[in-house]
Amino acid sequence: MPTLTKLYTMQEASEHNSAGDCWVVVDGKVYDVSSYLEEHPGGDDVLLQATGKDATDEFEDAGHSKSARELMESFCVGELDTSDIPQLEIISKKQTNYFSEKLVDLSKQYWVVPVAAVGISVVVTFLYLRKK
């Protein structure tokens, strides 16, 4: 059965940034940790400071255990809507394509150079052999 995942923008998630209403975003998922703030072994302050941004690096840096990661899933309320975030990967792929296309264009444009070089060396070799 298909499951419906609720999507939140970073803007929406960042509005939940207080001790009574605290959401964090880790690895593309949104977690409502309001009820866990006081129990969090790393402290409530780290969670409150992690609101309004992608806290994946901080979460990973803390070296969370497998059980912490399992517990985390019970707080998941949805996923991050990335449709409003520019896709850097796609842009860089486009740039790579752009440069390789340019290179192909240039080699098409300057095909005369290698052909002329080969032609000249053939003529020189021919003349040299004839002199002998």
State the residues that interact with ligand HEM by CB under 6 A. 24, 26, 31, 33, 40-42, 46-47, 50, 55, 58-59, 62, 64-65, 67-68, 71-72, 75
Instruction: Please identify, using beta-carbon distances, which residue of 63 and 86 lies nearer to ligand HEM.
Output: 63
* Cβ 111 to ligand HEM shortest distance, Å: 57
Instruction: Please identify, using beta-carbon distances, which residue of 66 and 130 lies nearer to ligand HEM.
Output: 66
Instruction: Please identify, using beta-carbon distances, which residue of 67 and 83 lies nearer to ligand HEM.
Output: 67
DSSP state of 5: P
Segments of the chain assigned E as strands: 7-8, 17-18, 21-26, 29-32, 76-80
Strand order through the sheet with 29-32: 7-8, 76-80, 29-32, 21-26, 17-18
* Cβ 19 to ligand HEM shortest distance, Å: 15
Strands 76-80 and 7-8, sheet pairing: parallel
